[in-house]
Amino acid sequence: MDSPKTAYLETGFWLSIQMSDGMEVAIKVFNLQLEGAFASFDTECEILSNIRHRNLIKVISCCSQIDFKALVLNYMPNGSLDKWSYFQNFSLNILQRLNILIDVALALEYLHHGYETPIVHCDLKPSNILLDDDMGAHVADFGIAKRLGGGDSMTRTMTLATIGYMAPEYGMEGMVTRRGDVYSFGIVVM
């Protein structure tokens, strides 16, 4: 077993570990000192445990103790789209870019129309699009995602997404709609 690789984030940290059977997993450990960490963990567990799509991150397991919350996820060896978009040592050819965008569009289509209650991601951005060993895209980080229940096409929230990627109506009025995810996708495309 290799030594674990760690990445520290604002919301906690990621740890990647190779299991004894050779499978590599990512462990997302939540920083419970942050406001909203418990709700974020609960939301991710609830949403990711009920949906399955090849372009959504897969939860393998979770750990929920009073003082410790973590998700065990499929490991994405090529990191996030953020790395491939903004760092000089990494680049994507036009076909890779197109395939990544198609993968993300398919994931959004499933979230919005392929499940009984539409799910709005609410924070689609390059750092929440993870790339597998074949450069396939997987949408991740459902901590502030919202379900639109009972035929509703919108809901309201006080939770803010990432400035620069959130739709204006979300940022100004807290209005969550599927159109907000489409707006965020458009910013990612640019």
**131 within 8 A of 76, measured Cβ to Cβ:** yes
Residue written as tokens 């965020």? Answer: 184
Q: Is 144 left (phi over 0), alpha (psi -120 to 50) or beta?
A: alpha
> Is 134 labeled as catalytic in the residue annotation?
no
Helix, strand, coil abundance in the chain, percent, nearest 5: 30, 25, 40
Measured over the CA atoms of residue 34, residue 8, residue 122 and residue 26, the dihedral's sign is: negative
Residue 3 CA to residue 24 CA, distance in Å, equals 12
Q: Which of 103, 123, 141, 181 is catalytic?
A: 123
Backbone phi, psi, residue 16, to 5°: -110, 135
Active-site positions read 123
